[in-house]
Structure 1
Amino acid sequence: MSTYHLQTVFRPRSVAVIGGSPRDRSAGRAVIRNLRAGGFAGQIGWVSPRYAEIDGMRTVKKLKDLPWIPDLVVITVPATLLPQVVSQAAELGVAAAIILTSGLGKGPGSLAAQVEAAARPKGMRVLGPHCLGVIAPHARLNASIAAHTPQAGDLALISESSAIAAALVEWGVARSVGFSAVVSLGDALDVDFGDLLDYFASDYRTRAILLYVDQISDARKFMSAARAAARAKPVVVVKSGRKPRGNGELVSTHSQSLADSDAVYGAAFNRAGLLRVNALDELFTAAETLGRLGTFPGRRLAILSNGGGVGRLAVDQLQALGGSLAELSPATVAQLDKALPQGWSRDNPVDIVVDADGGRYASAIEALLSDDANDAVLVINVPTAFTSSAEAAQALTTTLGQRSRQLRDKPVFAVWLGNDDRATVTLNTARVPTYPTEAEAVRGFQHLVRYREAQAALMETPPSLPADFVVDVPAARALVEAALANDQQWLDPVATHKLLQAYGIPSLEVMVARDPHEAMDLAQPLLEQGMSVAVKIFSPDIPHKSEVDGVRLNLGSLRAVQAAATAILQRARELRPQARIEGVLVQPSLTRPKARELIAGIADDPVFGPVVVFGRGGTAVEVIDDKTLALPPLDLRLAHEVIGRTRVSRILKAYGDVPAADERAVAMVLVKLAQLAADIPEIRTLDLNPLLADRNGVIALDARVAITPVKRLHKGRGHPRFAIFPYPTEWERTIDLSDGGKAFIRPVRPEDDGLFRAFFARVTDDDLRLRFFQSVKHFSHEFIARLTQLDYARSIALVAIDPKTGEMLGAVRLHADADYNRGEYGILIRSDLKGHGIGWKLMQIMIEYAGWLGLNMVEGQVLRENSTMLAMCQSLGFKVKADPDDSTIMNVTLPVGGVKS
């Protein structure tokens, strides 16, 4: 239901509390006290059957006894009464309920299920149960059991844990950090992370969103909402429940073993553009930073201190976190030489000497703020007998207040050691983010750097896929379907080799020998060609061949092959007497002395579905644990980013007499694996280990593929197991144009940057103004990225392409609202191609897509002067009405059920 009725949760006109007593520990009484103390201006009602008056406030016995219907109810009654109370509220038309009560249970027949059944048909939103409540300081609403009300600010906190939410409220009160809202989800019977991310992403009072996550229940909804929110504002997350391993169901491949739950969550957060921190204290640090600073284009930090040792510790911390220490420009050094006494450091960190007064601080701060060689400044004060911390704080804030407009966006961080209340008040009043230690300040700086880089990555254009990226999906699917029909859980080695061939992933040819004599027969042609031979155990019950000493390499004679096969079979039967031994595998031994051993594969997560795994390969892959994960689908940019997050990426570069490996070929394997997971959801886990990489490309020496009938993770359209809606191939088609020509229609891809730029060059200024409602002279990278990098779960952009020239002819776009109720469209056709029927065809396909997505309404805004578009809308069945707020605009709407063919 997403944002439906959430406005009444955070900005209700009236609130009723159901439950409560005069007891000191009464939850209902605590909520009423907070509502009254917070200054809520709307109506407040109290339902308490046993007491006519509490704390001087009259109560009523039943909700229907109130002379008005509340927007929001806060329920604190015992669990057994909840279904009845919720049913009564829903029947009255209450829009939303906050349930503080715990102990409702889960599953069919539970009290939780009864509450959901009572609320959902009436459209009543439920927050909780077992939650802290809601605080919305801008609305002067504290409908919670928190001890205090934080001041109004621009941080929204969403926490699964009531205790964490309460702790952050107390932290905010103590540090004068304000919140736009504080909300705890509790058991998240209805309102969840996805709903609240959607709400706060569009809330103008919220500049950054903080998340405390225990677990995600609806991964696709969360990822769609998180990606949308992260494009709009910073989202910081801390996740509890780290586990070394733990997907449990399938651990018989190296890839699955590497994909522990916490690593998968990390991959999901990274893919969504969220800033993940590791602990609550870091969440506090990030909140301090994001609450008071904007992002900035750089990563070079200048450090200023009156204590050389503390400054050097800050440098150590910066380097440990991978940060960049700024150089001082010659002009800045000269300026500081004039302002500072002899003995100052003349380098970064800038040590202005232990007896620095306010004037010396001001001069040094001004010089660093004006220096283009740094991107941010950290100011440290160490209290001494010679100086006043309060004076130094005043010098800092005064200098910041006097800086010019062009320098105003450069962030400044402060560390004031000691406990000087006057200094703290001065810095807090000026909204300078202040930290207790230099380590926390540097972490805060790095949080902003990482967030900015994540945002830049979201807007990058991936390199184009090569023209020979062709896969044979029917052949691959036939292999998997045949195996499933035989009740196989693993593809046999021959089928696995053919599967990889269908996706252009190089792998060694493999042959199956039932006994040592057959192994000799298969090896003979290879030996006659001068190759050496590898013999490996073949058993569906032995996933890791090395565990039974089941691999022999570089065999150069038939006698060696026979001896190896005999020994391997005997050893396997001794160590695994219950295993099904089907023979041995015979392959050519491949010798690439300067190749790197990698692992690439697909793992399966019970929450997020398929995950692509990459890292250092070999027999000790789990011990080395050099891996990174990514949620599919992937493009080449994302694949290169995955590779770059591993230690093994360093030795893919050239070193010594070893030439660089073909990193693009490695990246292509990851892209192909992601496509394989998209095309064949029956593949549950896949191992390429080792995957050898050198200057000549890549080749998989060993591969295993586990298969199972599809178990759907996600409701609705799209891939049944992907957390991210994949590229909708099913909407590719060829259409006939009115002039007898044809056009190929397909969804927009992230790599279409160049296609759009060439298209816009052939659209007139007037047509651009009619489409974007303003003159567009410059198409920035960010502008194009927002058109080409889509969340297909919510948006679709379809381009029409000339199949002969590859040129873009036009495009139509549809963006669904968070509730999947309405979708807003936009369309633009190349100016020299009007009248060819392209726009009409694109509009028809867009409307068809809206119905496929389940929307109820398609709507748009058209300039009144755009008579051609208005006429086409009317022909398609749209209703056209003047915009009540702007006489130059016409609003067009079409119920999807009333589409004209």
Structure 2
Amino acid sequence: MSIRNLERLFAPRSVALIGASERPGSLGATLLRNLTAGGFRGTVHPVNPKYTELGGLPAVASVADLAAAPDLAVICTPPETVPSIIRQLGEKGTRAAVVLSSGLGQARDERGRSLKQAMLDAAHPYLLRILGPNSAGLLSPAIGLNASVAHSGALGGRIAFVSQSGALMTGVLDRARSRGIGFSHFIALGDSADVDLGDVLDYLASDGATGSILLYVENLRYARKFMSAARAAARSKPTLVLKAGRADSGVRAAASESGALASMDEVFDAAIRRAGMLRVTTTEQLFAAVETLAHARALHGKRLAIVANGAGPGVLAHDALVCGGGVLATLAPQTMERLASLLPAGSPPANPLNLFGGAAPERYRQALEILLQDPETDAILVVHSPTATVASADIAEAIAPLARGASRNVLSCWLGGDSVAAARDIASQAGMPTFDTPEDAVAGFLQIVQYRENQHLLMQVPPSVSSIGASERGTARALVREALANGRYLLTDPETKAILRAYGMAIVETRGAATVEEAVHAARHIGFPVAVKIVSPDVMHKSDVGGVALDLDSEQAVRSAAQRVHKRFGELRPDARFEGFSVQAMARRPEGHELILGAATDPVFGPVILFGQGGIAAQVANDHAVALPPLNVVLARDMVSRTRVARLLAGYRNRPPADMDAILATLVQVSRLVCDIPEIVELDINPLLADASGAVVLDARMRLALADRSGSTLDRLAIRPYPRELEDTIDWNGGRLLLRPVRPEDGPAHLRFFDALTPDDVRYRMFVRIRELQPSQLARFTQIDYDREMAFIATRPGADGLPETLGVGRVVADPDNVSAEFAVTVRSDLKGLGLGRILMEKLIAYCRMRGTREIVGEALPQNNRIIGLVRKLGFEVTPTGEEGVRKFRLTLQ
């Protein structure tokens, strides 16, 4: 993943158009018109051997004839010419190009390579970044750049739109312009041969001109890269996704119910939730959500109070809230008492609160003031229908100061057209998300709720090392290796349960039996009553073929039942393999809920975990949720809450709640199992029987595959876990310090650490003077992706009992893991005690372990401590012409 040279792509000072033309309707003519008519502040150089002048600009015949290397090249020539043009540009010094030419993936060069690969090979030596091929171009309105085939330009603004569809570009631009919506960047990715969604997200996350990011996604190829960039972007600014292809085109082949149930779109949705982004389903929702989230304040709950000047609008908002899964606030008694004084006699207050048609501005103001003080309310929706007696603008003026200063979200809905336009403007300027209808307003509130919940999930960083002991993990791995060595990829129920038992899951006692008499012997050992089930790799649902017999309370009953189910199985499925019987102790849990837990492997995102309503009707009920591992208890609880069966598990009537801790523990253990053993590609636990006394596995099956040994066992996970194995406790300055990777919850301690730095130390670290960390900077420092960046902190409990950060060492590697840039900062009052060296040596050891070839860095010439430290550690120190900045380099390999 890299943002190298992307500033040349999105903020160029000069552009060369290769393939420029004056032929009407041609691609070259369209691009030239857009480049020259958009008000680009840089220079434009047309390149075409047929012309000496184009669009009033001097034209040159070839790249070699350009007087200087342009920052950006826009290429619209025939596909066979593109690789050589890219090579010439790289030699010239250009470092970014947009390739609009299509067909490079299909055509071949004289060496048999696709032209797309030949293009990438030509760019690689020069680190020349390519947007496309088959891109519709890009727009950066702030600098007047329109290097696209769009029929119109874009208004300036703070929204970045990134699309995998060029065809969507013109429609979205038209719609946005008609609504006055502006953009910082508008980017059509094309085939993403080089610059892809992950690279662009990374760039936009740190782009000061961009306040929010909108994505139109059709497909993904590199899940880890996308998730890494998406999580980084979503931590600093609202990031919204419109995904095409929500309907699966068919049932995928799977050996498990989990594999059949976990659709690709559900997995994508789970990834978006985990990345802290918000998914919408229409372009209208996409732009509406941007406006809503731009004004949204912190949300600490999802209880909504509704106030309106009529029963009808209030009821419409209430219905939309309830049907959308929202929560209507139950107002506190003192709130109800205060609201009663605002209403006519005989009109008791309620939520929604009806102020009646003639409600004066002061009544609205008082009602909002009271609701803002209600302890049971998290947000307020104000709905107003125009009346002949009260101007809507006066209502807006009355509530605007309260909304502007409120710590909670205040949303407004102004029903009507021109008569309420002024009220909408006033409300919007006061920071209130403003809507045309009650339903739209409630949808906006629910978007805020979902976005905040996703942001909470983003903060979860489960550990990479499970709490299961090494011997238990070894037992499970040995069972998997034995099965694979014997050529068995679909494990039986007893074999699967042995692996689950090693991971601490409660298992109903189960024994395998090859014959009827062995089944009788197994039942005698287990104790009666028992259940007998056939074992066949070709049958997913044993009950469908008469392969289950329950409540067998004697040896004769077991013998008869085993013979009966074997015969029945042979009659119904003569084509299926019979591998014996599974004999189980009967689980006597009359109030138990049948659940399904499982794992499957998505072709893009890798392992996924599934939870839902189980039993023989699991696929018919279709009540399940999907999540990406690794899971912790918080993530597992969120997963359970997204199913309908969660309401049953909470208890009802005389049925006590199920043991949720046991269910969550089983989910977490399934996640750990899948993370630890890459050979497990599918797993079904169905049913997991859960009641008030716990959760026990009744039936289970597992599918294995040979693992890819080309990389780490964690490489197949879309999200890199917190690397607990890198923690280290050391003696320092008469006490004990913990050196460990930074975590999101270190944010408060990191702020205190920053506040303890002197202004000079801040300048040495940042190269500029900064008085305080902005939220986006704090997120950038503490919410890292452990796959492409590492930050170690030295921490200990402070005098107040709170953890304190004493020093930070950070390293960021390039995409090829060739070079990694470091930074080390020690609290100003602790310098000279050796902590900087400890952190630096930790970084060097980490980079050696990862196979990084070199570590580089830089410092101001006044930063004598770091210069002296790196010299002692063997770094080369080289002065540069940039204010005497010192460059550091340590060769590791």
The farther-off stretch of 410-419 and 697-706 is 410-419
Q: CA separation in 2, counterparts of 1:347 and 1:25?
A: 63
- 1:882–1:44 Cα change, 3 Å: closer
Say yes or no: does 1:224 pair with 2:228.
Answer: yes
**648, 661, 665: which one aligns with 1:668:** 665
- 1:732–1:372 Cα change, 3 Å: closer
Provide the residue aligned with 2:290 in structure 1: 287
- 1:179–1:341 Cα change, 3 Å: farther
Provide the residue aligned with 1:726 in structure 2: 721
Say yes or no: does 1:85 pair with 2:90.
Answer: no
Provide the residue aligned with 1:692 in structure 2: 689
Contact 1:850 1:896 (C-alpha < 8 Å) held by counterparts: no
Contact 2:876 2:890 (C-alpha < 8 Å) held by counterparts: no
Contact 1:490 1:707 (C-alpha < 8 Å) held by counterparts: yes
Say yes or no: does 1:241 pair with 2:245.
Answer: yes
Task: List gaps (5 residues or longer) in structure 2.
Answer: 797-802
Contact 2:276 2:456 (C-alpha < 8 Å) held by counterparts: no
Aligned-pair CA distance for 1:846: 1.8
Aligned-pair CA distance for 1:11: 0.9
Say yes or no: does 1:441 pair with 2:441.
Answer: yes
Say yes or no: does 1:35 pair with 2:35.
Answer: yes
Aligned-pair CA distance for 1:453: 3.0
Contact 2:272 2:278 (C-alpha < 8 Å) held by counterparts: yes
Deviations for 1:771-793, whole angstroms, at most 9, x for unmatched residues? 888999x9999999988764211
Say yes or no: does 1:174 pair with 2:178.
Answer: yes
Q: CA separation in 2, counterparts of 1:721 and 1:540?
A: 26
User: What CA RMSD, in Å, does the superposition of the two structures yield over aligned residues?
Assistant: 4.5
- 1:263–1:381 Cα change, 3 Å: same
Aligned-pair CA distance for 1:48: 3.2
Q: CA separation in 1, counterparts of 2:407 and 2:530?
A: 68
Deviations for 1:445-494, whole angstroms, at most 9, x for unmatched residues? 22223222322343469899997777622222222112212221123444
Q: CA separation in 1, counterparts of 2:52 and 2:751?
A: 70
Contact 1:435 1:441 (C-alpha < 8 Å) held by counterparts: yes
Aligned-pair CA distance for 1:251: 0.7
Aligned-pair CA distance for 1:324: 3.8
- 1:858–1:703 Cα change, 3 Å: farther
- 1:486–1:89 Cα change, 3 Å: same
Contact 1:461 1:751 (C-alpha < 8 Å) held by counterparts: no
Contact 2:855 2:892 (C-alpha < 8 Å) held by counterparts: no
SS at match of 2:5: coil
- 1:594–1:846 Cα change, 3 Å: same
Aligned-pair CA distance for 1:207: 1.4
The farther-off stretch of 181-190 and 371-380 is 371-380
User: What amino acid is the match of 1:110?
Assistant: S
**118, 128, 136: which one aligns with 1:132:** 136
Q: CA separation in 1, counterparts of 2:285 and 2:472?
A: 48
**579, 597, 601: which one aligns with 1:600:** 597
Contact 1:879 1:892 (C-alpha < 8 Å) held by counterparts: no
Provide the residue aligned with 1:567 in structure 2: 564
Contact 1:533 1:554 (C-alpha < 8 Å) held by counterparts: yes
Contact 1:538 1:584 (C-alpha < 8 Å) held by counterparts: yes
User: What amino acid is the match of 2:572?
Assistant: L
**630, 648, 654: which one aligns with 1:657:** 654
The farther-off stretch of 159-168 and 300-309 is 300-309
- 1:485–1:33 Cα change, 3 Å: same
Contact 1:877 1:898 (C-alpha < 8 Å) held by counterparts: no
Q: CA separation in 2, counterparts of 1:61 and 1:891?
A: 41
User: What amino acid is the match of 1:273?
Assistant: G
- 1:742–1:377 Cα change, 3 Å: closer
Contact 1:461 1:637 (C-alpha < 8 Å) held by counterparts: no
Contact 2:874 2:890 (C-alpha < 8 Å) held by counterparts: no
Contact 2:428 2:434 (C-alpha < 8 Å) held by counterparts: no
**142, 148, 151: which one aligns with 2:152:** 148
Contact 1:177 1:291 (C-alpha < 8 Å) held by counterparts: no
Aligned ranges 1:435-834 → 2 under 5 Å:
435-459=435-459, 472-527=472-527, 531-711=528-708, 719-728=714-723, 731=726, 747=741, 790-798=784-792, 812-816=808-812, 821-826=819-824
Q: Could you state the TM-score of these two structures normalised by the residue count of structure 1?
A: 0.85
Q: CA separation in 2, counterparts of 1:557 and 1:329?
A: 61
- 1:473–1:732 Cα change, 3 Å: farther
Contact 1:273 1:455 (C-alpha < 8 Å) held by counterparts: yes
Aligned-pair CA distance for 1:698: 1.8
Task: List gaps (5 residues or longer) in structure 1.
Answer: none
Contact 1:414 1:432 (C-alpha < 8 Å) held by counterparts: no
- 1:379–1:523 Cα change, 3 Å: closer
Aligned-pair CA distance for 1:721: 1.0
User: What amino acid is the match of 1:628?
Assistant: A
Q: CA separation in 1, counterparts of 2:724 and 2:339?
A: 61
Contact 1:155 1:210 (C-alpha < 8 Å) held by counterparts: yes
Deviations for 1:701-739, whole angstroms, at most 9, x for unmatched residues? 111111111137xx866623111123436546787x699
Q: CA separation in 1, counterparts of 2:593 and 2:418?
A: 54
Q: CA separation in 2, counterparts of 1:508 and 1:171?
A: 60
Provide the residue aligned with 1:186 in structure 2: 190
Contact 1:289 1:433 (C-alpha < 8 Å) held by counterparts: yes
Q: CA separation in 1, counterparts of 2:751 and 2:66?
A: 60
Aligned-pair CA distance for 1:543: 3.0
Aligned-pair CA distance for 1:845: 2.7
Aligned-pair CA distance for 1:13: 0.2
Aligned-pair CA distance for 1:517: 2.0
Aligned-pair CA distance for 1:221: 0.6
User: What amino acid is the match of 1:316?
Assistant: D
Provide the residue aligned with 2:271 in structure 1: 268
Deviations for 1:544-589, whole angstroms, at most 9, x for unmatched residues? 3223221111111222211221122222222332322111111212
The farther-off stretch of 342-351 and 845-854 is 342-351
Contact 1:463 1:637 (C-alpha < 8 Å) held by counterparts: no
Contact 1:718 1:725 (C-alpha < 8 Å) held by counterparts: no
SS at match of 2:224: helix
**206, 209, 217: which one aligns with 1:205:** 209
The farther-off stretch of 79-88 and 744-753 is 744-753
Aligned-pair CA distance for 1:14: 0.7
Q: CA separation in 2, counterparts of 1:161 and 1:39?
A: 25
Provide the residue aligned with 1:323 in structure 2: 326
Say yes or no: does 1:100 pair with 2:74.
Answer: no
Provide the residue aligned with 1:418 in structure 2: 417
- 1:788–1:149 Cα change, 3 Å: closer
Q: CA separation in 1, counterparts of 2:67 and 2:774?
A: 57
Taking only the aligned residue pairs, the percentage that are identical comes to: 39
Provide the residue aligned with 2:167 in structure 1: 163
Q: Could you state the TM-score of these two structures normalised by the residue count of structure 2?
A: 0.86
Deviations for 1:128-184, whole angstroms, at most 9, x for unmatched residues? 222221111112212112232232211111111123333222222111122111111
Q: CA separation in 1, counterparts of 2:565 and 2:746?
A: 52
User: What amino acid is the match of 1:90?
Assistant: G
Aligned-pair CA distance for 1:330: 9.1
- 1:302–1:513 Cα change, 3 Å: closer
Q: CA separation in 2, counterparts of 1:895 and 1:311?
A: 66
SS at match of 1:134: strand
Aligned ranges 1:816-895 → 2 under 5 Å:
816=812, 821-826=819-824, 840-853=837-850, 854=852, 856-859=854-857, 872-878=869-875, 894-895=888-889
Contact 1:269 1:276 (C-alpha < 8 Å) held by counterparts: yes
Aligned-pair CA distance for 1:200: 0.8
User: What amino acid is the match of 1:670?
Assistant: L
Q: CA separation in 1, counterparts of 2:396 and 2:167?
A: 35
SS at match of 1:182: strand
Deviations for 1:750-773, whole angstroms, at most 9, x for unmatched residues? 7899xx97x999x99968999888
SS at match of 1:180: strand
SS at match of 1:472: helix
User: What amino acid is the match of 2:268?
Assistant: Y
Q: CA separation in 2, counterparts of 1:472 and 1:810?
A: 37
User: What amino acid is the match of 1:719?
Assistant: L
Contact 1:127 1:185 (C-alpha < 8 Å) held by counterparts: yes
SS at match of 2:476: helix
Q: CA separation in 2, counterparts of 1:780 and 1:567?
A: 72
